[in-house]
Amino acid sequence: MKPGSVIIDLAALGGGNCELTRKDDVWTTPNGVTIIGYTDMPARMASQASAMYSSNMVSLMKHVQGKGKASEFLGNVKSHLEAGEAGDIVTRSIVCCRDGQLVKMPPPPQPTPVKPKVDVAAKKKAEAPSPLKQAVFAALTLTLGVCLALGVGEGVKASQLTTFLLAGAAGYQAVWGVAHSLHTPLMSVTNAISGMTAVGGLLLMQRSNSTAASVLAMIGVAVSAVNIIGGFVVSQRMLNLFKKKGSEDWSSMMLVPGLIFIAVSLTHKELLGPVNTVSSVLCVAAIGALASQSTANAGCKLGMVGVFGALMATLVDMDAHLLYISLALLTVGGSLGLYVGMSVTPLQLPQTVAAFHSLVGFAAMSTSIGSFASNPEAGASMENISAVLGDFIGAVTFTGSIIAFGKLNGNLSSKPLTLPGKNFLNLAALLTQVGLTTVFLRSGEGLYGVVLLFVIALLACAMGVHLVGSVGGGDMPVCITVLNSYSGWALVAEGFLLGSPVLTVVGSLIGFSGAILTKIMCDAMNRDIFNVLFGGINNAPVVKSAGDEAPKEHTETSIDNVADLLASAKEVLVVPGYGMAMARAQTAMGEVANLLRANDINLKFGVHPVAGRMPGQMNVLLAEAGVPHEWVLEMDEVNPTMESVDVVLVVGANDVVNSAAQELEGCAIWGMPVIEVWRAKKVIFCKRSMAGGYADLDNPVFYKGNTDMLLGDAKKTADQLVSKVRERLERV
């Protein structure tokens, strides 16, 4: 028989008419023939036939009824009959007699002509930039980088510039190696490390001779402590979710070097410089260790030790009265961070990370202003340039992160802010910033210079509100990674300002980390970073349909049918989306996975890079549900073998599985890499309604012949599916 054929052996109870029949089992031969050997087939037939009949009848009634109420059913039938050949063929076919007269049946519908398959790969390959353009772009980028380095080299110590460049190169290599499933812990760890702004605040407290500068420094220390403790607590909680039950974890041994830092800092102050250097290296090693699940926990501990060492080296060199104040500030801020870190759930991670970013930005802004206030001399010195850059970047990060928090937390609308001429507003604000910076560097002395920095900060805060407000909710994953990068560059400016190598190293590490994650996210969404950040500048008009306006029919299914499909399958793929997270259905899906796995059904999860509201969020949610990370695959791992999958269950996802990305040129997601679920043997969509995703684009997969829709709340549906799957498996 041909591959794909199915043999139903009705004589399985007596040994079977087929030699290969296995009693009470369904299996597939090496040549692709499925043999069903159920012995309780009569008991199955009634429920199966009833379910299929009821599903077909419901679909028919919905088709005739349309979008109107049930009372409009007969009116629709009448109107279609009166329309003659222009009326709906399905409605006309179900009426055989009207007013005592025989109704002429319409001719049978002709099969839809098969559309030629579009070679998407070839099209993408043709659209790829030429090697010449790529080489020119790379050369220009490198040239600008060299010019920038040479331009600042005159005012910066060679050691500082070398430290920055080498740290950036090391961080660049380390971040590229981090697994996609660990991108969320990566952002959380780098966010905690960016709390090194506390070191800048402590240095400013120690050097300042101005009350105002000291107050700003103290504020920076307190909010940075919230970031450090809260960030590491959240990171460790996430990584604990990935642990296998019963596995031993000795990564806490990595905290031992912290004891050495204490001993050296208290007894050999001449070694405080090397302590800072080692702390910087440990922070880089922390990022590198996040490359795999086996070393991720150790990486988090290395980051803790690195930050602790830098703080310790700074504290022991302070005067007694400042030391007590600093410890009090760190304790208060750390306690608040501990409370926040222990309170948040995995679903709240995106907004929590955004909130922590705002603290880093505020600390950098206050420390930059305070540093200048302690020595308010005009001039284009590296200290003043660093102060204005730290002030500007910190302020944008501060308010931008607050807006991102509001959108992710539901306090603000996720729709993009569309002010008239918004791009001209951005340009005008940027030119104003350049003008204010020029005035500050030329004549910003004393109180006048401090006031200018506050004005720059206020305008930058407004820019942060407008820039992030113009970003839609679906682009928030990119926005968060950009803000993560901003916090790093603010830290670099603070490092140059205060002459702190450890701040320069950590800042460049975080800056490059956020930039790389931003590139990964933009590539996964096929988006241009400028279009995301500036609200769609130069976007072409969005196409929403393929020109085929004919009514489309979808097929709905029931939980019983889906349970039967899953229980009889051999290969199952679950594609989770943000809808699953919002419905908190991950625990139920974890139970379904465990049930099927326990019955030798190979179930995997396929996660799209931008599923959720930040990189890797779906992986964390699945880990919370007890799903081993070995069961979770990336998009590039599931697409090549999609034809061999018996059932794909899409839970709360839409745009990331939308075939319009390959079939509808010019649409909002055209060219975006997606999980190609439609190539599987059977696709089940578990979603609330037939509405489109964030892109507001109809999904052609809904109407394909191998797709069924299981509509309803994802949480309730998943809970019912658990019990039905368990029931079916027990019966088998």
Q: Which residues are catalytic?
A: 578, 613, 694
For the record, the structure tokens of 592 come out as: 């379904």
Helices (H), 529-576: 529-533, 559-568
Burial class (CB in 10 A: 0-12, 13-18, 19+), 690: middle
Alpha carbon distances (Å) from 180 to 191, 231, 445, 529, 642:
17, 19, 48, 20, 20
Tell me how far apart the alpha carbons of residues 379 and 210 are, in angstroms, rounded to a whole number.
20
Collapse the DSSP code of 602 into the 3-class scheme (helix H, G, I; strand E, B; otherwise coil) and give the result: strand
As a three-state string, the secondary structure of 490-505 is HHHHHHHHHCCHHHHH
For the record, the structure tokens of 172 come out as: 């660049």
Instruction: Name which of 465, 444, 466 is nearest 455 in CA terms.
Output: 444
Collapse the DSSP code of 696 into the 3-class scheme (helix H, G, I; strand E, B; otherwise coil) and give the result: coil
Q: Are 611 and 577 in contact (CB under 8 A)?
A: yes
Q: Residues in the chain, how many?
A: 732
What stretch of H or E contains 683? strand 683-687
CA of residue 678 relative to chain centroid, distance: 23
What stretch of H or E contains 607? strand 602-607
Tell me how far apart the alpha carbons of residues 156 and 504 are, in angstroms, rounded to a whole number.
12
Q: Are 465 and 336 in contact (CB under 8 A)?
A: no
What is the phi-psi region of residue 345: left when phi exceeds 0, alpha when psi lies from -120 to 50, beta otherwise? beta
Instruction: Name which of 532, 542, 537 is nearest 696 in CA terms.
Output: 542
Instruction: Name which of 629, 634, 652, 719 is nearest 238 in CA terms.
Output: 629
Collapse the DSSP code of 585 into the 3-class scheme (helix H, G, I; strand E, B; otherwise coil) and give the result: coil
What stretch of H or E contains 686? strand 683-687
What is the phi-psi region of residue 66: left when phi exceeds 0, alpha when psi lies from -120 to 50, beta otherwise? left
What is the phi-psi region of residue 410: left when phi exceeds 0, alpha when psi lies from -120 to 50, beta otherwise? left
Provide the CB-side half-sphere exposure for 408 (13 A, CA): 27
Beta-strand ranges (E) seen in 15-144 are 26-28, 34-36, 97-98, 101-102
DSSP assignments along 415-437, one per residue: SPP--TTHHHHHHHHHHHHHHHH
Amino acid at position 607, single letter: V
Collapse the DSSP code of 68 into the 3-class scheme (helix H, G, I; strand E, B; otherwise coil) and give the result: coil
For the record, the structure tokens of 314 come out as: 């700074």
Dihedral angle at the C-alpha atoms of 82, 88, 92, 98, nearest 10 degrees? -20
Instruction: Name which of 280, 268, 264, 257 is nearest 199 in CA terms.
Output: 280
How many other CB atoms are there within 10 angstroms of residue 539's CB atom?
A: 11
Amino acid at position 390, single letter: G
Angle at which helices 41-65 and 559-568 cross, to 10°? 130
How many other CB atoms are there within 10 angstroms of residue 483's CB atom?
A: 29
